[in-house]
Amino acid sequence: MNLKNITYKQVIFYISLAVLLIGSLLFVNNNYSFYDRPIAKVMEAHLEESNDVVDAYGNEDRLFTQSIEAEVKNGAEKNRSIHLINEYSASGAFDQAYKEGDELFVWIDADTGKGGELTGTIQDVKRDKHILPIVWIFIFILLLIGKRQGFFSIISLILNAAILSYALDIYVENSNIGLLIICGVTVVLFTITSLLLINGFNEKTYAAIIATLLGTFISFFITYAVLWLTGESGLRYEEIDFLSRPYKPVLLAGLLIGSLGAVMDVAITMSSSVFEMYENNHAIDNKTLKKSGLHIGKDIMGTMTNILFFAYISGSIPMLLLFLKNASLWGFTLSLNLSLELARALAGGIGIVLAIPIGLYISIFFVNRKRGRV
Amino acid sequence: MNVLVVLSAILFILMVLIGGRKGLRSFISLFLNFAVLILTVFFLLDPAMNPIILILIACAIISCINLFYINEVNSKTKTAFLSTVITIVFLVLLIYIMTDKLMIQGFSEEQVEELSTLFSLYIGLDFVKIAAAMIIVSTIGAITDVAISITSPMQEIFDQNPGITKKDLFISGIRIGRDILGSNTNTLFFAFFGGYLALLLWVKDMEYSIGEIANSKIFTSELLIILSAGIGIAMIIPIASWINSYYLVKKREQKALQKQEE
């Protein structure tokens, strides 16, 4: 890189990034006093015993018992040592071995007298100091490779997460407003902010915004009509984890938001290419625009639907394995764990395909308006 | 009538109506990919199999379907395939290390409470490796998409400027990649947001504190999935641009050499 090309603004930007990086890393590694829950740092871990187990279905695993000497890092018992017992399995479906340096949230059970050793139970792992470096790797890779566009992707992620969180806060506090209405409004906000961030203020973006909203809502109503007409047969709601609310609005609102990104991507691809063709050749007629636009749409529909498909289905893999290893039948396992994910993927696919003609015609409409003005 | 059957039928009709033969192929590719995924799950059930190796093979087959079947076998898809495989190998190592450090494998505390009454959780599979495999599969669709979206216009640029240098070609590849980076990451981010809606509402309803969120197994694992998706999409941009520019220029040099010999 040519050093002369670096502007004053960029220097400020990178310095503040470096300060943030170092500051946040220092913070997560020393933030014990901010937690109410006692934290203990593992100083020594010894394997006490291990034995093989075979469950009712013939699955072989190995169980281990660790005895751990740790040091309390916060609260009233700070700096005292604590004795912990950890039982874990080789497969680690919900447990794991601990080693020197790991930090754990613990319950302090008993005090064996003055200066003596505390005993406690392990509650959870302190993960913040491990997730933060990954956040920074993400930021640096996106900035390094994507430069300005990478920066906007990060901003768009943060902004959209904030909008979603705020919208859910409104819903939790006023449950009389339906989740669907709130998410519908959120979808409009998401579309406008993301497309403006990616593409800036211009007619290409306006065409893409209208096409995205039409595509998303039409595909949503198609899915809604299908659910209503079929009486939701074949959908299994038992396996939605973390359900604190009626399941149906949660599923529908998830459908609405989930397909939005893909529909946006298709809409922006369609409008960019239609406008690009027009800019290159102002005399181009609508028929050619239609034909070439449709050609581009055909090229992207397959890969786009596959993106959604994998994003939705993959999360079920551990659960599928658990069911099947516990001698559940394949048909039962698949319908119970995948029906909602497949419905989401199919609904998203419908949105993607619909966005192709919608995006195409709206962009052509905008191009013609521009032509009229010239 | 079953919801999934009706939705599939609608998707099928729309794809064929708008996409013609290519639409049909796109629809069939969904089924082929589903079959590959189910087959992978079948092999994952065997504790003797290494999940990382299995998933690398599965990803290679999936990108073959996405690139060679939906499109066709040509130099654009071949270099896109090679770039995808290289990116996946790098990414799977990175994700495996992160998964291990974060200890997010398997099931969360909230899930285990219910699961442990119904199931035996000691099933002898390596859940750390399975978690890494799961994360990589969630981004494979997006990674192949970026790869082909870079190699295909690069070929156009190369055809239009036959004398272009390797470096210029590489830079235009990166530039194309940057333009699609934002919309591609958005596709995945929103897909994940939609999928996590139940979880997000749960976190709000249970009034988790920031400290609890930042350390909870379920939340950090969802965050890891989102971040890995972004890293994967960004990483393939230089890899695909470099491989494609190297390949195209090498081919040109070989042709020139042949002409000289003649």
Pairwise CB contact (< 8 Å): B191 & A56: no
Of A91, A152, A311, the CB nearest to B141: A311
ipTM of the complex: 0.94
Using a CB-CB distance cutoff of 8 angstroms, which residues of chain A are in contact with residue B108?
Answer: 94
Q: Does A106 touch chain B (CB under 8 A)?
A: no
CA-based nearest residue in chain B for residue A123? B109
Of B15, B185, B191, the CB nearest to A312: B191
Return the pLDDT at A181.
92
How far apart CA A84 and CA A107 sit, in angstroms, is 10
The number of C-alpha atoms within 13 Å of B90 and in the hemisphere containing its C-beta is: 15
Residue A311 to residues A242, B149, B175, B220: CA-CA distances in angstroms? 19, 19, 26, 17
How far apart CA A199 and CA B41 sit, in angstroms, is 40
Using a CB-CB distance cutoff of 8 angstroms, which residues of chain A are in contact with residue B215?
Answer: 105, 124-128
Return the pLDDT at A224.
94
B229 lies in a domain? yes
Q: Which two tokens stand for residue B210?
A: 């920031």
Which of B1, B3, B200 to substitute to test the interface with A, most A CBs within 10 Å?
B3
Q: pLDDT digits over A353-365, tens only?
A: 999 999 999 999 9
Return the pLDDT at B35.
97
Q: pLDDT digits over B119-175, tens only?
A: 999 999 999 999 999 999 999 999 999 999 999 999 989 988 888 999 999 999 999
Q: Does A47 touch chain B (CB under 8 A)?
A: no
Q: Which domain holds residue B120?
A: 15-261
Identify the DSSP state of A202: S
How far apart CA A95 and CA A122 sit, in angstroms, is 11
Return the pLDDT at A3.
58
Sign of the dihedral defined by the CA atoms of residues A260, A263, A269, A275, in that order: negative
Q: Which residues pair with B88 in a beta bridge?
A: none
A2 pLDDT more than 60:
no
CA-based nearest residue in chain B for residue A260? B190
Q: Does A53 touch chain B (CB under 8 A)?
A: yes
Instruction: Tell me how far apart the terminal alpha carbons of chain B are, to the nearest angstrom.
Output: 68
Q: Does B231 touch chain A (CB under 8 A)?
A: yes
Return the pLDDT at A281.
86
**Is this structure's pTM higher than 0.90?**
yes
Of B15, B41, B122, the CB nearest to A321: B41
Using a CB-CB distance cutoff of 8 angstroms, which residues of chain A are in contact with residue B111?
Answer: 241
The number of C-alpha atoms within 13 Å of A34 and in the hemisphere containing its C-beta is: 12
Using a CB-CB distance cutoff of 8 angstroms, which residues of chain B are in contact with residue A359?
Answer: none
Pairwise CB contact (< 8 Å): B202 & A244: yes
Q: If you count them, how many residues does chain A have? A: 374
Return the pLDDT at A115.
62
Return the pLDDT at B117.
85
CA-based nearest residue in chain A for residue B107? A94
B4 lies in a domain? no
Task: Report whether A313 contacts B37 (CB < 8 A).
Answer: yes
Return the pLDDT at A112.
62
B6 lies in a domain? no
Q: What is the mean pLDDT of residues A250-254?
A: 90
User: Structural domain tally of chain B?
Assistant: 1
Of A137, A165, A346, the CB nearest to B4: A346
Q: What percent of chain B has pLDDT over 70?
A: 100
Task: Report whether A303 contacts B145 (CB < 8 A).
Answer: yes
In terms of Cα–Cα distance, which of B121, B123, B126 is closest to B50? Answer: B126
B72 lies in a domain? yes
Type and span of the H or E element at B85: helix B75-102
Q: Which residues pair with A52 in a beta bridge?
A: A62
B31 lies in a domain? yes
Pairwise CB contact (< 8 Å): A262 & B125: no
How far apart CA A193 and CA B85 sit, in angstroms, is 34
Task: Report whether A112 contacts A120 (CB < 8 A).
Answer: no
Computed over every residue of chain B, the mean pLDDT equals: 93
Q: What is the mean pLDDT of residues A295-309?
A: 92
Residue A256 to residues A120, A190, A251, B187, B190: CA-CA distances in angstroms? 46, 11, 9, 13, 10
Return the pLDDT at A76.
86
Type and span of the H or E element at A41: strand A39-54
Task: Report whether A227 contacts A156 (CB < 8 A).
Answer: no
Residue B201 to residues A336, B205, B219: CA-CA distances in angstroms? 22, 6, 12
Which of A63, A94, A171, A224 to substitute to test the interface with B, most B CBs within 10 Å?
A94
Identify the DSSP state of A81: E
Query: A89: Cβ–Cβ under 8 A, 6 or more apart, which residues?
Result: A61, A62, A63, A64, A95, B121, B122
Q: pLDDT digits over A207-223, tens only?
A: 999 999 999 999 999 99
Q: What percent of chain A has pLDDT over 70?
A: 96
Per the listing, tokens 């189910």 go with: B38
The DSSP code sequence of A93-142 is SS-----TT-EEEEEEEEE-STTS-EEEEEEEE--HHHHHHHHHHHHHHH
Of A264, A310, A320, the CB nearest to B186: A264
The helices-and-strands tally (H runs, E runs) of chain A is 9, 5
Task: Report whether A284 contacts A368 (CB < 8 A).
Answer: no
Return the pLDDT at A239.
66
Using a CB-CB distance cutoff of 8 angstroms, which residues of chain B are in contact with residue A256?
Answer: 194
A1 pLDDT more than 60:
no
Residue B49 amino acid letter: M
Task: Report whether A215 contacts A279 (CB < 8 A).
Answer: no
Return the pLDDT at A374.
64
Comparing A6 with B154, the larger pLDDT belongs to B154
How far apart CA B156 and CA B119 sit, in angstroms, is 55
Q: pLDDT digits over A54-81, tens only?
A: 998 999 999 999 999 999 999 888 889 9
Return the pLDDT at A178.
87
Give the start-to-end residue ranges of the domains of chain A: 35-126, 178-373
Computed over every residue of chain A, the mean pLDDT equals: 91
B9 lies in a domain? no
Scan residues 189-208 of A and list those with Cβ closer than 8 Å to B. 190, 194, 197-198
Q: What is the mean pLDDT of residues A172-192?
A: 90
Q: pLDDT digits over A147-161, tens only?
A: 988 999 999 999 999
Return the pLDDT at A373.
77
